[in-house]
């Protein structure tokens, strides 16, 4: 019998837990869900998990698989389940059951972990795998040999229920696929991804750094890295400007009242960096820009003839992420959004969405990313997570469905992925390793204009409520660069490379010619440096290749005497010769076309 891969991965988590219990009989279990590419289980053994533990756990899993242990389902009342897990000395499971019994929910995602069924607050199911008993709603495979191809990967600390005030557990991760071939391909991809890790390549290419004195999660950008950022931002602005956007600028702090009005304070106040002035007023570092932009629109009354108003703003935001959640540029405490907001009438929404859609496809097409679209909807089962009434949400989601249908693009719907103020289209990109990332987003907001009383004067001379579109192309420049660095393995195309050309004088007597040539190339618009060191040419070439510079020009007596230039391209072994004019024309065309 074949099973969905999520079922196999969830079952592999149970096999792993059964192996852990044999090794550590007093272990306390948290949750163990299926995740993308595999599974994990949160455990408490009173200490950190070691590499030797991981090897022993994997060996124990093979023993259970070879025995082909059966998965046996049993149903019971919540009271019976509480009694069972109290006898098994599993306090975390008891806590989940008591929450479900008393409050009708387990909170903190235990439903997503597959432990309980939030729709059933009367009965509980358990699964037994050999001597291991787990609270779980299933489904599972019937026998352990059916879990597919798997491998234990790593362990990490994780707070119970994601709350740092709770005990810290050990989260053990594994990967799982239907076949051994798929597993092998995934492991090869992981090895390649390790070589491309932006946290290693970024500093090696002198793009960014972190400082203990500045603080974790606060990247510092070098001159080379700043060129990357500015080049990307200029490209996005070029595309936006052509669609009628105007630039605005805003402060980095605000009174808390702005976020109380927008609804962000109630949802995210614990994730904000907060400031109290000498006079006792409470401010916050901005974690997003949309509430500020509403106040630019609100500066005066607009006629329907003046809409849409399109504001673009590349600016840094700040969020108080927990230290254990930080990950290089992918998740930081300071990040730069290429943000834009459109204030328009409902009748203008489709046209404005399609303008942004065009920008997104042009931008990501330049990088060779293939895109799919996720229609991110609200979860009707949890209305408390969202602003506004259900009818307004249905209207907004209907508009997004019409836009996607009209584009005839590949799309899928995801319930529960909407922003708290409105549904959105999320664009998913696959990189050169086949990994999928959520990148750009377009969000339709019918709630914030209501909360800030934003309107225009319509044809009848009456105030008409407007809507708001949130649009981010890169989203976070930092996060986009973490993806781009790994996508290109640090070898950026010529138009994007911080240093496009490096001149390598053969001897000291050639440095003057090299500097003069560099000045000439810079005047043509190229980013050029000269390696005037006393190193040998092979060493200079290796240094340039280490920084993955696209073009290297070796200059010696012949070149200084007016002969063709010796040209090396990164990643190409053979050296070619070109006249200066031919070379410059070719490079400028390559940059112009963003090949």
pLDDT tens track for 478-496: 999 999 999 999 999 999 9
- Residue for token pair 């579109």: 469
Q: According to the model, what pLDDT value does residue 112 have? A: 45
Angstrom distance (rounded) from CA 184 to CA 39:
17
What is the rounded distance in angstroms from the CA atom of residue 527 to the CA atom of residue 495? 10
pLDDT mean over 381-393: 80
What is the pLDDT, as a whole number, of residue 122? 72
| Whether the predicted pLDDT of 581 surpasses 60 | yes
Are the CB atoms for 243 and 249 separated by under 8 Å? Answer: no
470 catalytic per annotation? yes
Q: Are the beta carbons of 504 and 515 closer than 8 angstroms?
A: no
Q: Is 341 a catalytic residue?
A: yes
Mean pLDDT, residues 147-172: 91
List strands edge to edge, sheet with 274-276: 253-255, 282-285, 274-276
Alpha-carbon distance 271 to 566, whole Å? 55
- pLDDT at position 104, please? 56
3-state secondary structure of 85: helix
The mean per-residue pLDDT over the stretch 205-224 comes to 97
End-of-domain residue from the set 488, 515, 544: 488
Is 270 tagged catalytic?
Answer: no
Same domain? 155 vs 224: no
Question: Same structural domain for residues 329 and 379?
Answer: yes
* Average confidence (pLDDT) over 512-522: 95
Same domain, residue pair 74 and 12: yes
> Is 319 assigned a catalytic role?
yes
Residue-level pLDDT at 118: 52
Does the annotation count 10 as an active-site position? no
* Residue 154, SS3 per DSSP: strand
192 within some domain: no
CA-CA distance, 506 to 531, in Å (whole number)? Answer: 10
- Domain finish residue from 185, 217, 240: 185
Instruction: Tell me if residue 226 falls in helix, strand or coil.
Output: helix
Nearest to 64 by CA among 26, 12, 105, 123: 12
Please state the rounded mean pLDDT for residues 342-371. Answer: 95
Q: Is residue 471 located within the same domain as residue 511?
A: no
Has 581 been annotated as catalytic?
no
Find the catalytic residue in 319, 355, 374, 548. Answer: 319
- Same domain for 438 and 548, yes or no, is no
Residue 80 lies in a domain: yes
User: Is residue 107 among the annotated active site residues?
Assistant: no
What pLDDT score was predicted for residue 107? 43
| Statement: residue 446 has pLDDT above 90 | no
Q: Which of 14, 140, 341, 502 is catalytic?
A: 341
- Here the CATH number for the domain that contains residue 131 is 3.30.980.10
Give the three-class secondary structure for 138: coil
Q: Quote the pTM value.
A: 0.84
In a domain, 527, yes or no: yes
Within this chain, do residues 440 and 588 fall inside the same structural domain, yes or no?
no
- At residue 94, the 3 state secondary structure works out as helix
Q: Find the catalytic residue in 264, 286, 424, 548.
A: 424
- Residues 278-329: tens digit of each pLDDT: 999 999 999 999 999 999 999 999 999 999 999 999 999 999 998 878 899 9
**pLDDT the model gives residue 103:** 65
- Collapse the DSSP code of 590 into the 3-class scheme (helix H, G, I; strand E, B; otherwise coil) and give the result: helix
Interhelix angle 477-488/223-241, rounded to 10 degrees, is: 110
Residue 106 has pLDDT above 50, yes or no: no
Q: Are residues 321 and 465 in the same domain?
A: yes
Same domain, residue pair 470 and 509? no
How many separate domains does the chain show? Answer: 3
Q: Is the pLDDT of residue 110 over 60?
A: no
Rounded mean pLDDT of 204-215? Answer: 96
For residues 554 and 437, membership in a common domain is answered with no
Q: Across all residues in the chain, what is the average pLDDT?
A: 92
State the DSSP H helix or E strand holding residue 13, giving kind and residue range, or none if neither. Answer: helix 5-23
Q: Can you tell me the distance from the alpha carbon of 116 to that of 120, in angstroms, rounded to the nearest whole number?
A: 8
Check 37, 470, 548, 568 and give the catalytic one: 470
* 67 inside domain: yes
User: Is the confidence at residue 116, as pLDDT, over 70?
Assistant: no
Tell whether 190 is covered by a domain.
Answer: no
- pLDDT-based confidence at residue 456 (cuts at 50, 70, 90): very high
Residue 163 lies in a domain: yes
- Residue 194, in any domain of the structure: no
Catalytic residue among 134, 339, 445, 531: 339
- What pLDDT does residue 577 have? 92
Look up the CATH number of the domain holding residue 510. 3.40.50.800
Share of the chain above pLDDT 90, in %: 78
- Structural domain of residue 129, as residue ranges? 5-185
pLDDT of residue 432: 84
- Shared-domain flag, residues 265 and 390: yes
Residue 430 covered by a domain: yes
Q: Which of 118-132, 240-254, 480-494 has the lowest mean pLDDT?
A: 118-132
- 441 and 478 within one domain: yes
Residue 115: predicted pLDDT:
61
Chain length of the chain: 595
Point out the catalytic residue in the list 21, 170, 337, 500. 337
44, containing H or E segment: strand 38-44
Is the per-residue pLDDT at 268 higher than 90?
no
pLDDT in tens, 395-437: 888 889 989 988 888 789 888 888 888 898 999 998 888 888 9
CATH number at residue 227: 3.30.930.10
Is the pLDDT confidence value at 120 over 60?
no
Name the catalytic one among 136, 176, 290, 456. 290
Shared domain check, 451 and 392:
yes
Q: What are phi and psi of 224, to 5 degrees?
A: -65, -45
Q: Among 488, 522, 549, give the residue marking a domain's end.
A: 488
């Amino acid at each position: 019998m074949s099973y969905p891969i999520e079922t196999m991965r969830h079952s592999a988590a149970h096999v792993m837990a059964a192996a852990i219990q044999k090794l550590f009989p007093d272990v306390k279990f948290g949750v163990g869900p299926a995740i993308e590419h595999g599974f994990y289980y949160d455990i408490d053994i009173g200490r950190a998990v070691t590499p030797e533990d991981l090897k022993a756990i994997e060996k124990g899993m093979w023993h259970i698989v070879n025995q082909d242990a059966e998965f046996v389902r049993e149903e019971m009342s919540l009271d019976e389940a509480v009694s069972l897990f109290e006898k098994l000395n599993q306090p975390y499971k008891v806590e989940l059951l008591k929450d479900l019994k008393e409050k009708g929910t387990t909170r903190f995602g235990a439903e997503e972990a597959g432990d309980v069924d939030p729709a059933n607050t009367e009965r509980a199911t358990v699964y037994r795998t050999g001597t291991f008993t787990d609270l779980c709603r299933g489904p599972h495979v019937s026998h352990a040999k059916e879990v597919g191809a798997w491998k234990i990967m790593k362990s990490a600390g994780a707070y119970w229920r994601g709350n740092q005030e709770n005990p810290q557990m050990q989260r053990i991760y594994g990967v799982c696929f239907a076949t051994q071939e798929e597993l092998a391909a995934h492991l090869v991809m992981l090895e390649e991804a390790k070589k491309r890790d932006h946290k290693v390549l970024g500093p090696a290419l002198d793009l960014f750094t972190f400082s203990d004195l500045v603080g974790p999660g606060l990247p510092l950008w070098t001159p080379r890295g700043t060129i990357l950022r500015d080049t990307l931002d200029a490209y996005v602005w070029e595309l936006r400007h052509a669609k009628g956007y105007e630039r605005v600028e805003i402060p980095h702090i605000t009174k808390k009242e702005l976020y109380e009005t927008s609804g962000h304070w109630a949802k995210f106040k614990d994730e904000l960096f907060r400031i109290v002035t000498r006079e006792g007023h409470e401010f916050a570092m901005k974690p997003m820009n949309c509430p500020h932009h509403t106040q630019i629109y609100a500066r005066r009354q607009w006629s329907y003839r003046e809409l849409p108003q399109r504001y673009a703003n590349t600016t840094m935001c700040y969020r108080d992420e927990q230290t254990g959640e930080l990950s290089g540029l992918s998740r930081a405490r300071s990040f730069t959004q290429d943000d834009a907001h459109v204030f328009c009438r409902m009748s203008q929404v489709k046209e404005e969405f399609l303008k942004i859609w065009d920008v997104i496809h042009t931008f990501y097409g330049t990088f060779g990313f293939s895109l799919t679209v996720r229609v991110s909807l609200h979860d009707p089962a949890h209305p408390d997570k969202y602003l506004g009434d259900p009818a307004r949400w249905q209207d907004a989601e209907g508009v997004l469905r019409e836009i996607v249908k009209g584009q005839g693009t590949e799309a899928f719907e995801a319930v529960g992925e909407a922003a708290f103020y409105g549904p959105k289209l999320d664009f998913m990109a696959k990189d050169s390793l086949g990994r999928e990332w959520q990148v750009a987003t377009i969000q339709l907001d019918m709630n914030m204009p209501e909360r800030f009383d934003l309107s225009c004067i319509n044809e009848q001379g009456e105030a008409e409520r407007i809507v708001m579109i949130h649009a981010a192309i890169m989203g976070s420049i930092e996060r986009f660069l973490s993806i781009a660095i790994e996508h290109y393995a640090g070898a950026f195309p010529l138009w994007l490379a911080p240093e496009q050309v490096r001149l390598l004088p053969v001897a000291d007597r050639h440095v003057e010619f090299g500097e003069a040539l560099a000045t000439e190339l810079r005047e043509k618009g190229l980013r050029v440096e000269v390696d005037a060191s006393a190193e040998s040419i092979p060493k200079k070439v290796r240094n340039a290749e280490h920084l993955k510079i696209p073009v290297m020009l070796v200059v010696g007596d012949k070149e200084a005497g007016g002969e063709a230039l010796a040209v090396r391209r990164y990643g190409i072994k053979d050296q070619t010769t070109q006249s200066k004019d031919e070379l410059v024309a070719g490079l400028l065309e390559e940059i112009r076309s963003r090949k």
